[in-house]
């Protein structure tokens, strides 16, 4: 039985990914920073719940102890993320962005990935087929952001894409450091979620399919890659 932890799993892509992996036979831990919502989600899906606020060391460490005591972990899906509406909508963000305006988003989207990955690495290293999936989206490509023919070129914000580009760097470096763990970044598509005020073009069911597929790769699967449903993406 494969055991999987998904951060930020009480709604959206995380919730749907949990549902699909449970259907595929995984034992799934759904995590959320709101205990009531997380427990309700776990009960609804037939999952297990662990309290994790990815910005808080204590909750991450406590969750690692709980999952260790329960038997271990095979797959970590770093899904939790936030986006600033002002960042996405402000044409003047180049002039207005400050270190303070970036801090909260980086704390969740970038530092949170490091915090959670660091805590669960010892468990993953004990697995026979360990996997890490980092959900970064399409704005994590420097190549596409700088290409006038790419739709992402016209995104005006600084904060969200910068935080996700950092996660792509983490994916590359972690994959080199831990060659026995399959570690990849994924772009699930422009999905209708609260993160974008449900303006996306695809459903969560469609978006979760790639995350689920990458969560189930074997020991001979790709690692250190950035992929969408069609294959590798430019960094």
The set of long-range contacts for 221-224, using a CB threshold of 8 Å and a minimum separation of 24, is: 221/131, 221/182, 222/182, 222/184, 223/175, 223/179, 223/181, 223/182, 223/183, 223/184, 224/171, 224/172, 224/175, 224/176, 224/183, 224/184
Q: Which of 29, 65, 155, 160 is catalytic?
A: 160
Q: Residue holding tokens 């995984």?
A: 26
* Pair 175, 224: CB distance under 8 Å: yes
Distances (CA, A) of 120 to 3, 75, 113, 116, 125: 12, 10, 11, 6, 9
Q: Which of 29, 164, 192, 226 is catalytic?
A: 164
Q: Is 174 a catalytic residue?
A: no
Q: Is 164 a catalytic residue?
A: yes
- The set of catalytic residues is 160, 164
């Amino acid at each position: 039985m494969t055991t999987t932890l998904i951060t930020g799993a009480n709604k959206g892509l995380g919730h749907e990914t949990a549902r699909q992996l449970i259907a595929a036979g995984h034992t799934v831990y759904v995590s959320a920073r709101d205990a009531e919502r997380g427990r309700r989600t776990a009960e609804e899906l037939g999952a297990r719940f662990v309290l994790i606020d990815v910005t808080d060391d204590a909750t991450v460490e406590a969750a690692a102890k709980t999952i260790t005591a329960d038997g271990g972990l095979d797959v970590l899906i770093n899904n939790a993320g936030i986006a600033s509406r002002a960042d996405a909508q402000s044409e003047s963000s180049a002039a207005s962005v400050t270190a303070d305006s970036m801090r909260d988003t980086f704390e969740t989207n970038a530092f949170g990935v490091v915090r959670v990955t660091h805590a669960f690495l010892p468990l993953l290293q004990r697995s026979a087929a360990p996997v890490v999936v980092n959900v970064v989206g399409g704005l994590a490509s420097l190549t596409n952001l700088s290409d006038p023919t790419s739709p992402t070129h016209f995104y005006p914000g600084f904060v969200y894409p910068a935080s996700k580009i950092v996660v792509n760097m983490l994916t590359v470096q972690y994959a080199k450091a831990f060659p026995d763990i399959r570690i990849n970044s994924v772009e699930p598509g422009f999905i209708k979620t609260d993160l974008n005020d449900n303006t996306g073009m695809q459903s969560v069911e469609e978006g979760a399919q790639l995350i689920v597929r990458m969560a189930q790769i074997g020991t001979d699967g790709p690692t250190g890659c950035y992929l969408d449903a069609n294959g590798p993406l430019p960094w």
